Structure 1
Amino acid sequence: MERAFSNPAARLSFRGTSMTETPTTPLHDLEPRTGTPSPRMERDEFIRRFLTRFRDPAFDPLSSELRKVADAAWDGYCNSRKSPRTRKAGPGFADPDYDLSVDWLAAQEAIRLAEQRYQDAESPLRVLLINSSPRSEHTCPGEMSKSYRLVDVARDVLHQQPGVEVNLLDLSRLTSEYGRQIHPCKACFSTAAALCHWPCSCYPNYSLGQVHDWMNDIYPMWVEAHGIMIVTPVHWYQATSPLKLMMDRLVCADGGNPDPTSTHGKHPKEAKQMEMRGWDYPRHLADRLFSVVVHGDAEGAENVRRSMSDWMQSMELLPAGSLAELDRYIGYWEPYATSHEALDADEALQEEVRNAARTLVEAMLAKREGRLVVPGAKLKQPRQK
């Protein structure tokens, strides 16, 4: 397996230091800073929390069995069995004898196969089309989102393009589907780049009940895609909660370490030392093309569109073109209750979304045929993350 760094003695490449400077802090002094209160809980509180998921009276006849299950979960919690099923890493890893989570190994293999599909010049061009609204008629709002309708507008156009496949990622499933979750990023990257593994190794964490994480399915979707098209509403001047969760968890795709054995799991001091010796910040999603469509009802659309574009460009994805980036308002300062009718009437916006999808496909074709020119693409940036 490719290592996360090409040469341990490589020139430095980290925030705030030029690539030729010598670290001012000796490697042996890089002790992790600690001092926050412990979140560990006592047995009674753990059991109480565990059993609250079974409040439905249908579980009452199973109370004794559930208590046994709760006792087993407490044992896993007490002994911090984050990844209870492991196997030896094997050849290709820095430490072949290290016990790696079978969940992580499966996620890594899915990404490897997705990368093969991406690199196959004979395969169809693939677009990952993302609905970022949490709203749907299948849960509390009782109505579909305008974002989903705009995704359908784009999807109709993409399906008409020969040699193009579309993969829909509907983030509203986080709010409406049982057991569908994206857990928050734990910010390992901020401790040291090498501590953030590609794919993320923070989840699942069985001892804390942090399971059903969707990201291991989502990473291969991004990897195999030649183009990404994100459609999102504005929520409080920002990206939606589901979209932001996914964005944060994609940090490992941008400089993350593909070899958890090199840090022996989550050992922060080892990771700090690796970063200080020289880190090459592998861009695992570089050169995919993107389009982004942002819609709002009063304020914030331009800022969210710009932040989405900046985020993807910082990961070295490529903008498909000016028509592929769109921010618009639907029913500006009008009642929410009639916003779908406002979208019905805004035929110009619907055509702009179609043009964004067409522009993305044009850029994908140009890139595959070697006609896409990206000024500055071959320049080496003096600063990394």
Structure 2
Amino acid sequence: MSREAYRARFMARYADPAFRVEESALARLEAIAWDAYSEGRKSPMTAKAGEGYADPDYALSDEWRENAARIDAAQRRQREAGTPSRVLVIVASSRNDYTCPGEMSKSFRLAKLCERELTDAGIEADLLDLSRLAAEPDLHIHPCKGCVSTAMPLCHWPCSCYPNHSLGQVNDWMGEIYERFAACHGAIFVTPVYWYQVSSPLKLMMDRLVCADGGNPDPSSTHGKHADEAKALELEGWDYPKHLAGRAYGAIVHGDVAGIEGTRRALSDWLDWMGWIEAGATARLDRMIGYYEPYATSHDTLDADAPLQQEVANVARAVINAVRALRAGQLHRADEGIQPARAK
């Protein structure tokens, strides 16, 4: 970017006239930020990787190391026999009562039905409300940069693309989200259909979870983002580790005109690929809420549709059964132990 374009974009955050009293302070901060951008200081806080890494002398990001440690701790707790069972309930709508519409989403209401079933069954319910992206200042799921398409080992687990301080790409929510996925024994996804697809917050999260499916847990092995080193590692033979495999899932997709079946299939296909275990046919749900009816009365339609509410509760019950069976060693994927002919 040119200096002028960078300054204009930086200052746009402070367009409110109330900031004018700090014009000189803002100019100094902008100059520091420009220097970080122009010098490419992506990870200004680092320490030597140390033992256990391919290159112990590599300057490893402090923030990445902290994220990785939390995720590892969550994975260990998740595998301990005595820990409470936990199910992550993902609310994928962009809408809530703090966004422009000022009204909670139907996805949120359906997720709360699931939460109630889980809690009543003695399961810890962890509600992940992705609509917070649209309602909270500087909370982000930054887009996937497609490192995996260069070479799988270039995609680190957890993602090392963010934070990128030189670009101001900070406050990335995925560090916390990875930890919550690592801690769960199952998940229920609740999404509306946006133009024949899952919602945009959910798609951002799905793309950033690519590192959980084959990602490299050692950034020092590629010295950060050195494409040639990552390509050499993959060509030597990469095992594409599935870091979150073996969890149970249910999927609830709702719409009002079209797209529910295709969206639910895409969601299920993604989770199957990740090595997750579907909690049975009852855990797959795609339904219209008010088919071709006015949007204005859709909440009333949901209130009146008792069978749909029962079906949503049944998704949660199926996931509860699956999680219990998984933890007792009684539920396995039918293809467990079969090596794919073409791993990727």
Are 1:119 and 2:79 counterparts?
yes
- Aligned AA for 2:74? A
Letter in 2 for 1:63: E
- Determine if the alignment matches structure 1 residue 331 to structure 2 residue 331: no
Q: Where does residue 38 of structure 1 map in the other structure?
A: none
For residue 344 of structure 1, the aligned residue among 303, 306, 322 is 303
Match among 97, 121, 124 for residue 161 of structure 1: 121
Corresponding residue for residue 46 of structure 1? 6
Q: When you count helix as a share of all residues, which structure comes out higher?
A: 2
Query: Per the alignment, in what secondary structure is the counterpart of residue 257 of structure 1?
Result: coil
Secondary structure in structure 1 of the residue aligned to 2:128: strand
Q: Is the 8 A contact 2:185 2:247 kept in 1?
A: yes
- Aligned pair partner of 1:77 in 32, 37, 54: 37
Root mean square deviation of aligned Cα: 0.7
Question: Structure 2 matches for 1:143-222, cutoff 5 A?
Answer: 143-162=103-122, 164-222=123-181
From 202, 217, 223, the counterpart of 2:182? 223
The answer as to whether partners of 2:277 and 2:332 remain within 8 angstroms in 1 is no
Matches within 5 A, 1:1-385: 41-162=1-122, 164-385=123-344
Unaligned 5+ residue runs, structure 1? 1-40
Q: Secondary structure at the match of 2:197?
A: coil
Deviation at 1:373, TM superposition (A): 4.3
Moved over 2 A (4+): none
Q: Counterparts of 2:32 and 2:4 in 1: how far apart (Å)? A: 14
Opposite residue 57 of structure 1, the aligned amino acid is P
Structure 2, unmatched stretches of 5+, are none
Post-superposition shift, 1:375? Answer: 1.7
How far residue 374 of structure 1 moved from its aligned partner, in angstroms, is 3.0
Q: Using the alignment, how far apart are the partners of 2:335 and 2:276 within structure 1? A: 13
Distance 2:71 2:205 in 1: 16
Task: Supply the distance in 2 between the matched residues of 1:112 and 1:340 (Cα, whole angstroms).
Answer: 41
Partner Cα separation in structure 1 for residue 149 and residue 251 of structure 2: 27
Q: Distance in 2 between matches of 1:195 and 1:330?
A: 42
Question: Cα distance, 1:48 vs. partner?
Answer: 1.3
Alpha-carbon distance between aligned partners in 2 of 1:72 and 1:175, rounded to the nearest angstrom: 29
> What amino acid maps onto 2:177 in structure 1?
I
**Helix, strand or coil at the partner of 1:172:** helix
Tell me how far 1:303 sits from its aligned partner.
0.5
* SS class of match (1:194): helix
The worse-fitting range, judged by mean Cα deviation, of 167-176 and 374-383 is: 374-383
Which residue type is aligned with residue 307 of structure 2? A
Deviation at 1:378, TM superposition (A): 1.8
SS at the partner of 1:380? coil
Q: What is the total number of aligned residue pairs between the two structures?
A: 344
**TM-score relative to the length of structure 1:** 0.89
Distance 1:145 1:217 in 2: 23
Contact 2:53-2:220 at 8 Å conserved across structures: yes
Identity, % of aligned positions:
55
